[in-house]
Amino acid sequence: MIRSATLSPQTTLPSLNDNNRLRLLSGSANTPLAQEVARYLGMDLGPMVRKRFADGELYIQIQESIRGCDVYLLQPTCRPVNDHLMELLIMIDACRRASARQITAVIPYYGYARADRKTAGRESISAKLVANLITQAGASRILAMDLHSAQIQGYFDIPMDHVYGSPILVDYLASKQLHDLVVVSPDVGGVARARAFAKKLNDAPLAIIDKRRQAHNVAEVMNVIGDVAGKTAVLVDDMIDTAGTILEGARLLKQEGARQVYACATHAVFSPPAINRLSSGVFEEVIVTNTIPLPKEYCFPQLTVLSVANLLGETIWRIHEDSSVSSMFR
């Protein structure tokens, strides 16, 4: 069940009519989220034809005039990543050739973000490559949520707005009125994210899991830095992929005396065998957002999905009105 977060807009949203320059279009990656965003903005999704040729090539045509309009294309580049990325690029190109005044790619989940630097010889920095592809396709601006690493913002030579799902996760946790909280980072690289999360939870104490990664999607957990004994531990990460890291972290926290373990992440990638690991009984609750759509077979009793639609809708409106976006997170 998806729960919509409460977000009171700080701007008055007038009714949008045909003469307004704001247009919202959606790719096929997460249409339900796009529909929620459209409802928040009080408008309909723009009509579009999307079909495939016999060999799998994608064809897209915008079904209304967008000449001189500010167009927002909502498309997370989630599984299947290559198909959804290519669809985004074709949508951008179609809007550019239709003489849109400004094209903003709204990417709730930015795929290929984990290869953001060279850690060995002869590697590709695919996060930068994808940024180049989106820019060259004709995007004027980027709106992304919880990038895997903040440095990806610098890969774009066009304006970029980076928003966070943490306010939605924090509000939900605060509503549960949990006691003796400790926020835990699953690795050293996520300390800044966990520290900011802990600050919003009434300056909750912080713990860090020291781990050594042996290979991609394989993590060896070593020890906990900080006191978690007798406390409710909240593991915070930007994404959960195979859930190997977060599961081993939760088991270690239980060994160190944590009373309960909650998992929080913005992006529910959930590659196999993530569902089996997350529903194994180690976690009291797994809290994610709907930046990536989850089919029914991916749901399990401990899973809670929160909606980021209002947050994205408010951000889109502020960008359109040239208002501050950063003030939403102060």
Active site residues: 211
* Cβ atoms of 311 and 5 closer than 8 Å: yes
Taking alpha carbons only, the member of 27, 46, 72 closest to residue 314 is 72
Q: What is the DSSP letter of 108?
A: S
Cα-flanking dihedrals φ and ψ of residue 285, to 5°?
-160, 145
Q: Which run of H or of E encompasses 51?
A: strand 48-52
Q: What is the DSSP letter of 14?
A: P
Separation between Cα atoms, residue 77 and residue 50, nearest integer Å? 17
261 forms beta bridges with 233
Separation between Cα atoms, residue 172 and residue 259, nearest integer Å? 20
Q: For 271-294, give the DSSP string.
A: -TTHHHHHTSSS-SEEEEETTS--
Instruction: State both tokens at 122.
Output: 């002869």
Separation between Cα atoms, residue 2 and residue 217, nearest integer Å? 28
Instruction: State both tokens at 200.
Output: 């919003």
Report which residue type is found at 250. A
Helix (H, G, I), strand (E, B) or coil at 250: helix
Taking alpha carbons only, the member of 240, 194, 185 closest to residue 217 is 240
| Helix runs in 24-71, H state only | 31-41
Taking alpha carbons only, the member of 137, 205, 169 closest to residue 291 is 169
